[in-house]
């Protein structure tokens, strides 16, 4: 049986409302409840997208009620299936499901609260301040929302990371008689999602990795904001996905429950790769508006249209009405199934703990976001060395040292592992491939955006993932990095070749404005350590974080390793900034730097001291951590009455004003770089100790 989702003005003439009502059972009562809740919420807000929730209500219903392994009483159950609404503008579809399934509330940290995630009063306040029903689903704000799907395509990218994580969990922790992990990831995506480049990268990765636990249900409704998709999108999506290595199925009518059921059963039995279900729908809309786009796609239907549509559905109830039979229907479906599966899983996990105590302890740590008790003991200490090493090299040593203690620290590079030095070399680490899911090294290919989105999905699944590339390519990754910060996910990005020190590759590969760009993202810790011991301490801070991502910015060129018997301990990195030079004398001038420029200001300080100018060297490898310290500590590092200051960084000045004050001077870049050996470039652009000395003297005399 099929119920058309369109309004009367758009309904096929062969469909008669009375016939529909006569055929209606509990399934269609539930589906129409999803539709009417969506219409009413959008209308009350006078804002939002009712069309897609109306059109896809049968699809979401089928996934949740008949397939999803999910316990509404604990939406953070580790072995659950994931449901991702990548077309987040259709958020009322998800909120309706969360309400009807009576999902409990949970926060960013997985703590479940004994209250509904989406009470009816929050649906009535859709898109309003402090409602758990914001315009797009927000992870951590609403229980059952698996990821923040704001920009189109991101949910698709995240879902690949979720599927990867479940494959990794199964390969590492499943044992004969103890199949703890067998989860699937279900995604609803739109034309807009599949036009975005990030979804293309993610789909290509998923096909290569043969992620048979991943399905994208593609809402092929031929509509975007501007109008019909053939304005700009005429490709054969099915053929494209087949070329990626996906299995492709077709559902000709989104209202055909039997056809969707059949397609999802086929997905669940498929072992050869991910699945795309091309599902055709007619979006619920009224007449085209003056701009030529269809009103209900991005606007409320309006009271008159809602009245007609509800009449077509034979829905004579007040706004926001939910029949009690519908609640009970979902309790007996997804609720009962999820509770039974979860109870069985917990019983199996208890027995597993006795058989495999070390693996069970790992799972407990992952679930609580705790690292092994002794992991910090693995951090290396580096001896003083005038020649030193590139921080990418010391970073590789530190990464491998801590990875030996943290088995769920996994990741890789976007085709640059030989340069970023981010391969885990411990025995058994291996390469994550279709025949080796119990591995820790990922080869993402030249897909920075897809990598970053997948890392978010892996982190949302409890892993501690890292991804590596050259710093300049954060231009491609920034949207996903921003979302990691919004979701408070402790993803680690290892970003090497951090400045004009890249040298001969020239300005296209030399990051200049990138430090400022990343520092502009609230909640992202940007670490730029200045020597090998600062690198170790930066990793300590990054891995200790459970609620913030970290950008680890490292050099290609060698950095001297400071003699820590002469200079302060690098443990000050934990506070973001610290005084490197020792002694209690009040300075006349303060020199500040991050990363490779630490060596520049250390040399400059020696020259200034030789001139009788008392000089303090301050390293500020992480502004975010330093700014989070109390005022007394910040004052102890940068005393306010010392106004002669110089900051040195091989990037633009933006942001340094907060530390420099009115009299401070900046030594760095004010344009792009050039192609030449690194040493020549630093001299050419004046990033030298001599220039710092001159600016320090000018600041003193100013």
Buried b or exposed e, range 586-620, using 16+ CB within 10 angstroms: ebbbbbbbbbbbbbbbbbbbeebeeeebebbbbbb
Instruction: Identify which of 146, 176, 127 has the alpha carbon closest to the alpha carbon of residue 78.
Output: 146
What pLDDT does residue 3 have? Answer: 35
CATH topology of domain 574-701: Rossmann fold (3.40.50)
245, HSE (Cβ side, Cα atoms, 13 Å): 18
What pLDDT does residue 335 have? Answer: 98
Residue 694 gets which letter from DSSP? H
Distances (CA, A) of 292 to 223, 226, 298: 11, 7, 12
> At how many degrees (to 10) do helices 257-269 and 51-66 cross?
50
Known catalytic residue at 571: no
Q: ∠ CA 345-348-353 to the nearest 5 degrees?
A: 120
What pLDDT does residue 284 have? Answer: 53
pLDDT in tens, 450-498: 999 999 999 999 999 999 999 999 999 999 999 999 999 999 999 999 9
Q: Could you tell me if 446 and 419 are in contact, meaning their C-beta atoms sit under 8 angstroms apart?
A: no
As a whole number of angstroms, the distance between CA 308 and CA 32 comes to 14
Mean pLDDT of each 10-residue bin along the chain, 702 residues long: 34 36 76 97 94 96 98 98 97 98 92 96 98 97 97 98 98 97 98 97 98 98 84 94 98 97 98 97 52 52 91 92 97 98 98 98 97 96 97 98 97 97 94 97 98 98 98 98 98 98 97 98 98 98 97 98 97 98 90 98 98 98 98 98 98 98 96 97 98 98 86
Question: Could you tell me which residues are beta bridge partners of residue 615?
Answer: 589
What pLDDT does residue 109 have? Answer: 83
Neighbouring residues of 265: CB distance < 8 A, sequence distance ≥ 6:
none
What pLDDT does residue 298 have? Answer: 63
Instruction: Identify which of 211, 144, 131 has the alpha carbon closest to the alpha carbon of residue 171.
Output: 211
Instruction: Identify which of 17, 27, 91, 23 has the alpha carbon closest to the alpha carbon of residue 58.
Output: 27
As a whole number of angstroms, the distance between CA 246 and CA 701 comes to 68
pTM strictly above 0.85? yes
What pLDDT does residue 15 have? Answer: 35
CATH number of 375-560: 3.40.50.970
CATH number 3.40.50.970 is the correct assignment for the domain at 17-343: yes
Residue range(s) in the chain whose domain bears CATH number 3.40.50.920: 574-701
Q: Could you tell me if 147 and 85 are in contact, meaning their C-beta atoms sit under 8 angstroms apart?
A: no
Helices (H) and strands (E) in the chain, counts: 27, 22
Residue 230 gets which letter from DSSP? G
As a whole number of angstroms, the distance between CA 544 and CA 504 comes to 36
Two structure tokens written together for 338: 């999820």
**Catalytic, out of 448, 534, 597, 695:** 448
Maximum distance among all alpha carbons in the chain?
96
Q: Could you tell me if 55 and 219 are in contact, meaning their C-beta atoms sit under 8 angstroms apart?
A: yes
Instruction: Identify which of 384, 392, 431, 389 has the alpha carbon closest to the alpha carbon of residue 411.
Output: 431
Instruction: Identify which of 584, 582, 585 has the alpha carbon closest to the alpha carbon of residue 566.
Output: 582
Residue range(s) in the chain whose domain bears CATH number 3.40.50.970: 17-343, 375-560
What pLDDT does residue 225 have? Answer: 81
Burial of 496 by CB count in 10 Å (0-12 exposed, 13-18 middle, 19+ buried)?
A: buried
Q: Could you tell me if 137 and 98 are in contact, meaning their C-beta atoms sit under 8 angstroms apart?
A: no
The gap between the terminal CA atoms of the chain, to the nearest Å, is 83
């Amino acid at each position: 049986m099929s119920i058309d989702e369109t309004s009367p003005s758009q309904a096929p003439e062969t469909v008669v409302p009375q016939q529909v009502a006569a055929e209606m059972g509990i399934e269609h009562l539930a589906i129409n409840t999803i539709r009417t809740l969506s219409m009413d919420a959008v209308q009350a807000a006078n804002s939002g997208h009712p069309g897609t929730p109306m059109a896809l209500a049968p699809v979401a219903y089928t996934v949740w009620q008949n397939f999803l392994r999910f316990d509404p009483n604990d939406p953070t159950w580790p072995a659950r299936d994931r449901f991702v609404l990548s077309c987040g503008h259709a958020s009322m579809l998800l909120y309706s499901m969360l309400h009807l399934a009576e999902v409990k509330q949970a926060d960013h940290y997985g703590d479940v609260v004994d209250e509904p995630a989406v009470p009816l009063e929050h649906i009535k306040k859709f898109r309003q301040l402090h409602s758990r029903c914001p315009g797009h689903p927000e992870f951590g704000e609403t229980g059952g929302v698996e990821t923040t799907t704001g920009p189109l395509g991101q949910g698709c990218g995240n879902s690949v990371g979720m599927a990867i994580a479940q494959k990794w969990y199964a390969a590492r922790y499943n044992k004969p008689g103890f199949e703890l992990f067998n989860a699937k990831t279900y995604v609803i995506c739109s034309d807009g999602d599949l036009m975005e480049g990030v979804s293309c990268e993610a789909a290509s990765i998923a096909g290569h990795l043969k992620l048979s636990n991943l399905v994208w249900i593609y809402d092929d409704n031929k509509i975007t904001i501007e109008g019909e998709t053939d304005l700009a999108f005429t490709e054969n999506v099915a053929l494209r996905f087949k070329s990626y290595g996906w299995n492709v199925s077709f559902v000709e009518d989104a209202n055909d429950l039997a056809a969707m059921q059949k397609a999802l059963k086929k997905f669940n039995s498929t072992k050869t790769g991910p699945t795309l279900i091309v599902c055709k729908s007619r979006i619920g809309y009224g007449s085209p508006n003056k701009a030529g786009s269809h009103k209900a796609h991005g606007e409320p239907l309006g009271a008159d249209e809602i009245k007609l549509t509800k009449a077509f559905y034979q829905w004579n109830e007040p706004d926001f009405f939910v029949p009690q039979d519908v609640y009970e229907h979902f309790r007996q479906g997804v609720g009962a199934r999820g509770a039974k599966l979860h109870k069985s899983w917990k019983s199996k996990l208890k027995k597993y703990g006795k058989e495999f105590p070390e693996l069970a302890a790992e799972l407990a740590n992952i679930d609580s976001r705790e690292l092994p008790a002794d992991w910090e003991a693995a951090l290396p200490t580096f001896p003083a060395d005038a020649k030193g090493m590139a921080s990418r090299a010391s970073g590789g040593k530190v990464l491998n040292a801590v990875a030996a203690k943290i088995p769920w620290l996994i990741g890789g590079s976007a085709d640059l592992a030989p340069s970023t030095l981010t391969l885990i070399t411990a025995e058994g680490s291996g390469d994550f491939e279709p025949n080796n899911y119990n591995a820790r090294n990922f080869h993402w290919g030249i897909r920075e955006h897809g990598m970053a989105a997948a890392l978010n999905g892996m982190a949302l699944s409890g892993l501690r993932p890292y991804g590596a590339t050259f710093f300049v390519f954060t231009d491609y990754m920034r949207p996903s990095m921003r979302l990691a910060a919004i979701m408070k996910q402790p993803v680690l990005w290892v970003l090497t070749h951090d400045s004009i020190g890249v040298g001969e590759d020239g300005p296209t590969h030399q990051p200049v404005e990138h430090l400022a760009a990343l520092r502009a993202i609230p909640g992202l810790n940007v670490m730029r350590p200045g020597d090998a011991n600062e690198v170790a301490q930066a990793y300590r801070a990054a891995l200790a974080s459970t609620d913030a991502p970290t950008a680890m910015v490292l050099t290609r060129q060698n950095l001297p390793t400071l003699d820590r018997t002469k200079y302060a301990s690098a443990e000050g990195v934990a506070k973001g900034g610290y005084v490197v030079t020792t002694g209690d004398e009040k300075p006349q001038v303060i020199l500040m730097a991050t990363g490779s420029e630490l060596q520049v200001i250390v040399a400059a300080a020696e020259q200034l001291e030789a001139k009788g100018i008392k000089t303090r060297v301050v390293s500020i490898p992480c502004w975010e951590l330093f700014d989070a310290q109390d005022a007394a500590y910040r004052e102890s590092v940068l005393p306010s009455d010392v106004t002669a200051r110089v900051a040195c960084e091989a990037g633009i000045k933006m942001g340094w004003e907060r530390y420099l004050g009115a009299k401070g001077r900046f030594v760095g870049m004010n344009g792009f770089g050039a192609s030449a050996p690194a040493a020549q470039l630093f001299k050419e652009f004046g990033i030298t100790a001599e220039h710092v000395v001159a600016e320090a003297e000018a600041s003193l005399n100013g």
